[in-house]
Amino acid sequence: MRILKKMVSVLTAAAFVCNLTGCGSGNDSSAEYTIGICQLAEHEALDATTEGFKAALNDKFGKGNIKFDEQNAQGEAANCSTICNNFVTNHVDLILGNATGALQAATQATTEIPILGTSITDYGTALNIKDWTGKTGTNVSGTSDLAPIDQQEDMILELIPDVKKVGILYCSSEPNSAYQADLMVEELKKDHIDYKEYTAADSNEIQSITTTACDECDALYVPTDNTMASSAETIKNIAIPAGIPMIAGEQGICSAGIATLSIDYYDLGYQTGEMAYEILKNKKDPGDMEVELSDKYTKMYNEENCKALNIKIPDGYEKLETKSE
């Protein structure tokens, strides 16, 4: 009986130690690092970025060594804040803010946990940093999805040579979209092309502003914009029947347009994952890391929409793969 009691005591003590150390509790607790991913909304570009980010870290650390706490805010800023605050409470090792709203929520939640942004157009605008130098000097770095706006404007003139007035559509609550719109306005002014800006406060206003823009303009431009990307089908169902071609800031929104000069968002996410590896494994300080740009931009066209609008695409464009194909 004494031997039995002693065995029970030993087993009880061992179980207590295991509870403290997390032994035998599976892959989640044995993961080397935990990363919180806050993605602003569900659409093609952001989804691809998240997948690329995860792939890079799985390649670098090996599957099972990274636990991803992946959360989608469904386009709501309040959800971003809740998600990021939970990451801080749960003591994650790094936070990925996928899109501007997610990055802003992460920076408001912590100044200590390393943060990487991705699918961000301009960090100076997103983080309200004056005299932006390319580094934050804080716990934040990341990658930018900004494509050359002057080359996107060149595409408008190349594919729609008779254009008289361009409607610029974007969400007024997304500062990076306004930043791109300002850059496009500068380029259109240089070529003496008339323009008008049409802003939506949220997705509920996209149908009305798109209808108005198509009535008043003969071409559209939509920058990288999460609200617009989530409502690309709405834009398409108005612009294509109206005979109005649209140049898009990225390939996800180009499901409603004729062409885009875009980065590969999976590659951008992978690039961000490599930065995360440098922070986690090699202890690099995010504040000392330059925000990185993509080094490849591709001219792409939407074959279905070009045919519908009788737009002829010159050499040098790649066919955009669409979900219907």
**pLDDT for the residue numbered 104:** 96
Q: Output phi, psi for 285, to 5 deg.
A: -85, 120
Phi-psi region of 182 (alpha: psi -120 to 50; beta: other; left: phi over 0): alpha
Rounded to a whole number, what is the distance in angstroms from the first to the last CA of the chain?
Answer: 73
- Say how far apart CA 322 and CA 325 lie, in whole Å: 6
Query: pLDDT value at position 3?
Result: 43
Average pLDDT over residues 123-143: 95
pLDDT band at 18 (very low <50, low <70, confident <90, very high): very low
Contact between 132 and 106 (Cβ < 8 Å) = no
CB within 8 Å of 219: residues ≥ 6 apart: 156, 160, 163, 165, 166, 167, 244, 245, 246, 247
pLDDT band at 321 (very low <50, low <70, confident <90, very high): confident
Domain residues for the domain of 190 are: 149-262+298-319
Domain for residue 273, yes or no?
Answer: yes
* Residue 305 and residue 178 in one domain: yes
Same domain, 157 and 277: no
Residue 53 is part of a domain; what is its CATH number? 3.40.50.2300
pLDDT tens sequence across 39-58 = 999 988 899 999 999 999 99
In contact, 258 and 303? CB cutoff 8 Å = no
Looking at the 3D structure of the chain, how many domains does it have?
2
| Between 8 and 215, residue with greater pLDDT | 215
Q: Are residues 210 and 62 in the same domain?
A: no
Residue 7, in any domain of the structure: no
In a domain, 229, yes or no: yes
Are residue 307 and residue 163 in the same domain, yes or no?
yes
**Domain-located, residue 22:** no
238 and 167 within one domain = yes
Do 239 and 287 share a domain, yes or no? no
Determine the pLDDT at residue 295.
Answer: 81
pLDDT digits (tens, 9 = 90+) for 49-100: 999 999 999 999 998 899 999 999 999 999 999 999 999 999 999 999 999 9
200 lies in some domain: yes
The reported pLDDT for the residue numbered 323 is: 59
Per the domain annotation, does 59 fall within a domain?
yes
Q: What is the mean pLDDT of the chain?
A: 90
Do 258 and 282 reside in the same domain of the chain?
no
Q: Is residue 16 part of a domain?
A: no
pLDDT-based confidence at residue 322 (cuts at 50, 70, 90) = low
Residues 311 and 211 in one domain: yes
pLDDT at 25 over 70: no
Same domain, 314 and 281: no
| Residue 302, pLDDT score | 97
Residue 27 has pLDDT above 90, yes or no: no
Query: Is residue 158 one of the residues assigned to a domain?
Result: yes
Q: What is the pLDDT of residue 252?
A: 86
In this prediction, residues 253-277 reach a mean pLDDT of 95
Residue 135 sits in the same domain as residue 191? no
Cα gap 116→291, rounded to integer Å: 9
97 bridge partner residues = 38, 117
Q: Are residues 257 and 271 in the same domain?
A: no
Q: What is the mean pLDDT of residues 1-19?
A: 40
Q: Are residues 172 and 61 in the same domain?
A: no
